[in-house]
Amino acid sequence: MSSKYMLKNQMEDCVWELLDQVLAQYPEVCKCENCRYDIVALTLNRLPPRYTVRVKGEIYAKLAMLEAQHRADIYQALTQAILIVKQHPRHER
């Protein structure tokens, strides 16, 4: 499929942006790349996607951070995902 357009889930950027802030509150949780991706995937599965259409190759300004209620929802979903991955990391400790 070669189109000049692409879909972008802005929720994904927001989750990555808040990930480190929330992870900082859990010093005992593994922060390897595997676990970070697992946490973000679990979090995104719990949140509604926010798709927008973009033109490939164009530069887009970074989204302003979402409003407070939205951030609270992301924080909550991230926290739940962190606790799940903490209990069931997909690799040896």
Between the CA of residue 18 and those of 1, 3, 55, 56, 77, what are the distances in Å? Answer: 32, 31, 26, 25, 11
Is residue 85 part of the contact set for Zn ion (CB under 5 A)? no
Give burial (CB, 10 Å; 0-12/13-18/19+) of 53.
exposed
> 46 near 84, Cβ under 8 Å?
no
Question: Does 35 sit near Zn ion (CB under 5 A)?
Answer: yes
| Cβ-based nearer residue to Zn ion, 32 or 63 | 32
Would you count residue 30 as binding Zn ion (CB under 5 A)? yes
Q: How many positions of this chain bind Zn ion (CB under 5 A)?
A: 4
With CB under 5 A as the contact rule, the residue among 6, 7, 21, 32 that binds Zn ion is: 32
- Can you give the binding site for Zn ion, defined by CB under 5 A? 30, 32, 34-35
